[in-house]
């Protein structure tokens, strides 16, 4: 499972409207980093971010740990709403 699929699976398990989740990977200027953009509905934004950003940080930690095992690249995850 690649990092985008992992991120999508985690986010879809948290939100109420899993059909409104969009996860895409973008290239960065640095070859040792990956940018993953997560788009969710406005109603699910609070669920994905969590209190004081704890849920978002947990998602980032899990994906970064997976990256360390496979690609060893820095992962940046941006979470936004439609």
Cα(8)–Cα(57) distance, integer angstroms: 15
| Region 3-81: CATH code | 3.30.300.20
> Which pLDDT does position 46 carry in this prediction?
94
| Domain map (residue ranges) of the chain | 3-81
Walk along the chain (82 residues) in steps of 10 and give the mean pLDDT of each run.
94 95 93 94 95 96 94 92 88
> Which pLDDT does position 15 carry in this prediction?
96
């Amino acid at each position: 499972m690649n990092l985008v699929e992992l991120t999508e699976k985690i986010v879809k398990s948290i939100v109420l409207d899993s059909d409104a989740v969009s996860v895409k990977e973008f290239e960065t200027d640095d070859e040792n980093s990956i940018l993953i953009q997560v788009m969710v509905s406005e109603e699910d934004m609070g669920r994905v971010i969590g209190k004081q950003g704890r849920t978002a940080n947990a998602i980032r930690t899990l994906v970064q740990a997976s990256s360390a095992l496979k690609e060893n690249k820095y992962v940046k995850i941006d979470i936004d709403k439609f």
